[in-house]
């Protein structure tokens, strides 16, 4: 087994962690302040007048202070709100601090700056998750605004801007559903599967934290577009994913349970719903478990409120394919063929190899699955512990024992951490696009069927 390399951190100016901390995060926080300031009147009216105005002022103050703390590399403070996950966060903060103290003692460093986990010195993954939890703290300290999702508007705009692509994709899916009214040859089933899997993968290009909230419009036909994107798929294990599902049927005598660990709302969620529909229509799966976030997260991640908003909005749309599909989806939800689950672990800073210790209940629940699809960049970072892996490390090894069930990561690359490449691939990609690791234009489908032995 390869030695575990150190985590990505903003202390390395050549890592994407550095511009993230230095530029991208301050911009995201400024945008929060701008949004709240611009919509002050509206929010105040909707959330209860004068008292809400005072709370809004406090939130704006807290976010501005957080921005200042990041920019001046202040130490992370314990959380002050009373959400049930706060003690767990604070215990983890303490644990990280103790580890750091031990390290500092060994290397006799950090004495000048004083104690603390700092934005530009410590693990990027930890600090960035903590940042989004701190944003939440600002709202949780309120009474009237405690459930306010400051990213909701952006997520809804992203959905609306993708209308054309949504229209193309849902009409295509309707055709496929009709096709399945008759027996479809195996080779064709597989072809459709790969299409919907890859559309769901590329749906991950649309994430609002990478574009600092800049909503991009999507009007192309995502299925036809797959051909254009093909050579940017650095690892394509679609075939292996299909075989996993096929095998389930052969060994268990029934279709699979597929878990989808969701990433972003907007068009990405539409692509995930379409993939889930195809899995049911084709009989490859009989049960889909979606996993969403329990608090607003990394700007665009799907919360339960986003899930509801998306389905409600789609069912009211004046578009036959969209509204008919929505009806099917409601029926699946009613029959528990589809379920949506929340778990606080998804909004903790831990990498997934720690799941069995931190959240054994979630690990046990995922172990029921026949295939877990992890969507997006952040899930990938957590799968491989966000470390400075050599790019030719095996995906199985980088998972460091995390294997509740066969799993697959569908991810466009938005950070400088990737494994499973063949040697020479880095140079090839670099020649074509110097930002291949971080601009979301390149992607991987990496699978792990069996735990590494
Ligand atoms: O900012 C850090 C980061 O993980 C990026 O690498 C990525 O842009 C974003 O957050 C999350 O992306 P995704 O929505 O694909 O998980
Ligand atoms: Mg996301």
In a domain, 92, yes or no: yes
**Do 170 and 124 fall into the same domain?**
no
Q: Which of 113, 140, 167 is the last residue of a domain?
A: 140
**Do 91 and 205 fall into the same domain?**
no
Which residues make beta-bridge pairs with 75? 118
The CATH number for 397's domain is 3.40.50.10880
Ligand nearest to the CA of 413: 1
**Do 178 and 297 fall into the same domain?**
yes
Token pair of 82, please?
Answer: 């009373």
| 285: containing domain | 152-448
According to DSSP H, which parts of 72-210 are helical? 86-107, 124-140, 152-161, 163-179, 186-202
Buried/exposed code over 66-101 (b: 16+ C-beta within 10 A; e: otherwise): bbebbeeeebbeebebebebbebbeebbeebbeebe
Helix, strand, coil distribution of the chain in percent, nearest 5: 55, 10, 35
> Which residue CA neighbors atom 5 of ligand 1 most closely?
414
In a domain, 147, yes or no: no
Q: From the CA of 377, how far away is ligand 1's center (Å)?
A: 5
In a domain, 337, yes or no: yes
Q: With H, G, I as helix, E, B as strand and everything else as coil, classify residue 134.
A: helix
**Do 407 and 306 fall into the same domain?**
yes
The CATH number for 85's domain is 1.20.930.60
On the CB side of 51, CA atoms within 13 Å amount to: 7
Which residues in the chain land under pLDDT 70? 1-2, 108-113, 206-219
**Do 386 and 435 fall into the same domain?**
yes
> How confident is the model at residue 206, as a pLDDT?
66
Phi/psi class of residue 108: alpha, beta or left (left: φ > 0; alpha: ψ in -120 to 50)? left
Q: Is 207 in the pocket of ligand 1 (CB under 6 A)?
A: yes
Ligand nearest to the CA of 381: 1
Instruction: Check if the beta carbon of residue 262 is closer than 8 Å to that of residue 292.
Output: yes
Torsions phi, psi for 256 (to 5 deg): -80, 160
Structure confidence by residue, pLDDT tens digits, 101-123: 888 777 766 555 678 999 999 99
**Do 313 and 401 fall into the same domain?**
yes
- How high is the ipTM of this complex? 0.96
Q: Which of 140, 170, 204 is the last residue of a domain?
A: 140
Q: What is the DSSP letter of 21?
A: I
> How confident is the model at residue 212, as a pLDDT?
42
Q: Is 264 in the pocket of ligand 1 (CB under 6 A)?
A: yes
**Do 69 and 93 fall into the same domain?**
yes
In a domain, 4, yes or no: no
In a domain, 6, yes or no: no
Instruction: Check if the beta carbon of residue 447 is closer than 8 Å to that of residue 240.
Output: yes
Mutational test site, ligand 1, from 130, 209, 349, max ligand atoms within 8 Å of CB: 209
Q: Is 263 in the pocket of ligand 1 (CB under 6 A)?
A: yes
In a domain, 7, yes or no: no
Q: From the CA of 284, how far away is ligand 1's center (Å)?
A: 30
> How confident is the model at residue 2, as a pLDDT?
63
**Do 163 and 131 fall into the same domain?**
no
On the CB side of 249, CA atoms within 13 Å amount to: 12
**Do 163 and 96 fall into the same domain?**
no
Q: From the CA of 424, how far away is ligand 1's center (Å)?
A: 26
Q: Is 298 in the pocket of ligand 1 (CB under 6 A)?
A: yes
Phi/psi class of residue 273: alpha, beta or left (left: φ > 0; alpha: ψ in -120 to 50)? alpha
**Do 91 and 160 fall into the same domain?**
no
Find where tokens 């990561």 sit.
Answer: 409
> How confident is the model at residue 213, as a pLDDT?
44
Position in ligand 1 atom list of the atom nearest CA 20: 1
Position in ligand 1 atom list of the atom nearest CA 204: 15
Mutational test site, ligand 1, from 26, 414, 443, max ligand atoms within 8 Å of CB: 414
Q: From the CA of 452, how far away is ligand 1's center (Å)?
A: 27
> Which residue CA neighbors atom 3 of ligand 1 most closely?
378
* Closest CA relative to residue 352, chosen from 390, 395, 408, 403: 403
Q: Is 210 in the pocket of ligand 1 (CB under 6 A)?
A: yes
Q: Which of 84, 107, 140 is the last residue of a domain?
A: 140
Position in ligand 1 atom list of the atom nearest CA 415: 6
Structure confidence by residue, pLDDT tens digits, 384-394: 999 999 999 99
In a domain, 2, yes or no: no
Q: Is 376 in the pocket of ligand 1 (CB under 6 A)?
A: yes
**Do 181 and 96 fall into the same domain?**
no
**Do 193 and 74 fall into the same domain?**
no
In a domain, 216, yes or no: yes
Q: What's the number of domains the chain is made of?
A: 2
Q: Is 378 in the pocket of ligand 1 (CB under 6 A)?
A: yes
Distance between CA 359 and CA 344 in Å, rounded? Answer: 9
Structure confidence by residue, pLDDT tens digits, 44-81: 999 988 999 999 999 999 999 999 999 999 999 999 99
Position in ligand 1 atom list of the atom nearest CA 208: 14
> How confident is the model at residue 109, as a pLDDT?
62
Pairing of strands 285-292, 407-412: unpaired
Helix (H) or strand (E) holding 29: helix 25-38
> How confident is the model at residue 107, as a pLDDT?
72
Instruction: Check if the beta carbon of residue 31 is closer than 8 Å to that of residue 211.
Output: no
Q: From the CA of 69, how far away is ligand 1's center (Å)?
A: 21
Structure confidence by residue, pLDDT tens digits, 216-242: 556 578 888 888 888 999 999 999 999
């Amino acid at each position: 087994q390869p030695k575990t390399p150190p985590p990505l951190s903003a202390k390395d100016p050549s890592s994407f962690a550095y511009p993230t901390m230095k530029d991208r995060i301050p911009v995201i926080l400024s945008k929060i302040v701008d949004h709240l300031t611009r919509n002050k009147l509206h929010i105040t009216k909707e959330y209860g007048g004068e008292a809400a105005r005072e709370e809004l002022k406090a939130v704006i103050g807290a976010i501005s202070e957080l921005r200042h703390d990041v920019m001046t590399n202040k130490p992370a403070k314990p959380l002050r709100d009373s959400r049930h996950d706060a003690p767990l966060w604070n215990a983890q903060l303490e644990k990280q601090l103790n580890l750091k103290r031990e390290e500092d003692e060994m290397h006799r460093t950090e004495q000048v700056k004083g104690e603390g986990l700092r934005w530009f010195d410590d693990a990027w993954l930890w600090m960035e998750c903590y940042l989004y939890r701190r944003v939440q703290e600002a709202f949780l300290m309120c009474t009237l605004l405690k459930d306010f999702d400051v990213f909701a508007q952006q997520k809804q705009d992203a959905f609306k801007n993708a209308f054309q692509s949504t229209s193309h994709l849902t009409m295509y899916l309707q055709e496929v559903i009709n096709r399945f009214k008759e027996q479809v040859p195996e080779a064709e089933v597989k072809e459709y599967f790969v299409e919907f899997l890859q559309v769901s993968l590329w749906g991950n290009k649309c994430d609002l934290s990478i574009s600092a909230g800049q909503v991009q419009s999507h009007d192309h036909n995502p299925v036809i577009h797959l051909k254009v994107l093909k050579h940017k798929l650095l690892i394509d294990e679609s075939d292996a994913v299909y075989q996993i599902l096929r095998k389930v049927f052969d060994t268990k005598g029934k279709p699979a349970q597929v878990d989808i660990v969701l990433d972003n709302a907007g068009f990405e969620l539409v692509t995930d719903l379409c993939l889930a529909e195809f899995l049911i229509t084709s009989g490859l799966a009989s049960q889909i478990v979606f996993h969403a976030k329990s608090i607003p997260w990394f700007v665009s991640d799907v919360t339960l409120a986003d899930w509801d908003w998306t389905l409600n909005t789609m069912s009211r749309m004046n578009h036959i394919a969209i509204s008919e599909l929505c009806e099917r989806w409601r029926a699946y939800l009613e029959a528990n063929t589809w379920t949506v689950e929340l778990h606080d672990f998804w909004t903790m800073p831990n990498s997934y190899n720690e799941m069995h210790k931190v959240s054994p209940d979630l690990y046990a629940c995922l172990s029921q699955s026949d295939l877990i699809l992890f969507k997006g960049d952040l899930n990938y970072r957590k799968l491989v512990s966000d470390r400075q892996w050599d790019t030719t490390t095996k995906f199985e090894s980088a998972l460091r024992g995390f294997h509740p069930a066969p799993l697959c990561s569908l991810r466009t690359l938005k950070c400088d951490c990737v494994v499973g490449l063949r040697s020479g691939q880095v140079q090839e990609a670099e020649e074509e696009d110097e930002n291949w690791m971080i601009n979301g234009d390149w992607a991987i489908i990496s699978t792990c069927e069996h735990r590494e032995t």
